[in-house]
Amino acid sequence: MPHIHAILAEDDSEVKGFLEGNRVTIVVKVASRFGYKEGDVALIPKLLTPAEVALSWNMSRLMLVVDLGTRLPPYDIGDRDAEDFLLSLIKVCEMDKINVGVWIRSMPSNGYAEHEPEPPSAA
């Protein structure tokens, strides 16, 4: 399953607001760019505490780490793909004041499974 880790400081309300307002757009862009259904792409936020931010180095205010899963383009993923993806986001999202880094990772060999329990029956 492809997924996006959105890494940001827990006390950065501007970036939180950006992510809340654009999370669907980000998922749609990943799905369309890399050939997935939108419902198959997860967005997982990772909120860093002030202590974790203080320990980090060279981190953008918002880091989008895109793990593509096993369906990959017929070429190696590189910096150009990350740049093209970021430019496609810039065209549709207001990002003028937010430093955003994009890291796209391909994972040619992995697996994913999920169990969804049956909802309780209405008796």
Range of the domain at 72: 3-105
- Tens-digit pLDDT profile for the chain (123 aa)? 789 999 999 999 999 999 999 999 999 999 998 889 999 999 999 999 999 999 999 889 999 999 987 766 656 778 888 888 898 998 998 888 889 999 988 876 555 666 676 878 776
Quick check: is 72 in a domain? yes
The answer to whether residue 78 sits within a structural domain is yes
Q: How deeply is 18 buried, as exposed, middle or buried, from its count of CB atoms within 10 A (0-12, 13-18, 19+)?
A: buried
Q: What is the CATH number of the domain that holds 51?
A: 3.30.429.10
Domain annotation covers residue 19: yes
Q: Is residue 95 part of a domain?
A: yes
47 within some domain? yes
pLDDT of residue 31: 93
Residue 21 lies in a domain: yes
Domain count, the chain: 1
Is residue 123 in some structural domain?
no
Who contacts 9 (Cβ-Cβ below 8 Å, separation ≥6)? 15, 47, 48, 50, 53, 61
Please give the model's pTM, rounded to 2 decimal places: 0.83
